[in-house]
Amino acid sequence: MLKVGLTGGIGAGKSEVSRLLVSYGAVLIDADKIAREIVEPGTPGLAAVVEAFGAEILTDQGALDRPKLGSIVFADADRLATLNAIVHPLVGARSAALESTAGPDDVVVHDVPLLTENGLAPLYDLVVVVDASPVTQLDRLVRLRGMAESEARARMAAQATREQRRAIADLVIDNDGPLGRLEPQVRKVWDELTRRAAEGAR
């Protein structure tokens, strides 16, 4: 089994790379998706978050009010640390459980947006970074996602820099251009990943 960490800045196109890798046969473990699942109504994760932050972070339907929680934790580093201390171990445990179901020849891709920021590179056999210039990222966030430019810039500024991400990369996928240029690069990376997985399985 080859454990791959996949990351990239917001708007770099990591989701499209994940989708292509899955279409080639990768086993995808999506940290963001797991982070949402572990705080769904009725979960121990949500109960722990409510205990730490109070019932006002719930909607009328009893689900987590993400915008409200976000406004609390992103304005206060200590509250954010409290939230991370609840969520990260649960995400890690769920990721490990999913990974344990993969076969010895599988390429397991962990899609982790904050891999660089949280110093997680050592957890993986190699790290793939989806790279795009800040100009491209900003354009995609404003034009394709409909974000206000100020919000897009703030989200980008809260993440690691392009240089910090590239510094931990074993393989870099350049996604500055059109979609048609992305697929051949991802295919080439996939060939390299399957080669390394096969070597490791011997």
CA distance 138 to 142: 6
Answer left, alpha or beta for residue 79, where phi above 0 means left and psi between -120 and 50 means alpha. alpha
Q: Length of the chain in residues, anyone? A: 202
Taking residues 148-161, what's their average pLDDT? Answer: 87
pLDDT band at residue 186 under the 50/70/90 scheme = very high
Q: DSSP class of residue 10?
A: T
pLDDT tens track for 90-117: 998 999 999 999 988 899 999 998 899 9
Q: How many CB atoms lie within 10 A of CB 80?
A: 14
DSSP β-ladder status, 27-30 and 2-8: unpaired
pLDDT tens track for 61-71: 999 999 889 88
What would the two tokens of residue 36 be?
A: 């949402």
pLDDT at 202: 57
CATH of domain 32-103: 3.40.50.300
Taking residues 181-193, what's their average pLDDT? Answer: 96
CA distance 124 to 107: 11
Report the mean per-residue pLDDT for the chain.
92
pLDDT at 201: 60
Same fold flag, 1-26+106-202 and 32-103? yes
Taking residues 52-68, what's their average pLDDT? Answer: 93
pLDDT tens track for 116-144: 998 999 999 999 999 999 999 999 999 98
Domain positions in the chain are 1-26+106-202, 32-103
pTM for the predicted model, two decimal places = 0.85
pLDDT band at residue 158 under the 50/70/90 scheme = confident
pLDDT at 147: 86
Taking residues 167-177, what's their average pLDDT? Answer: 95
Taking residues 147-170, what's their average pLDDT? Answer: 90
CATH of domain 1-26+106-202: 3.40.50.300
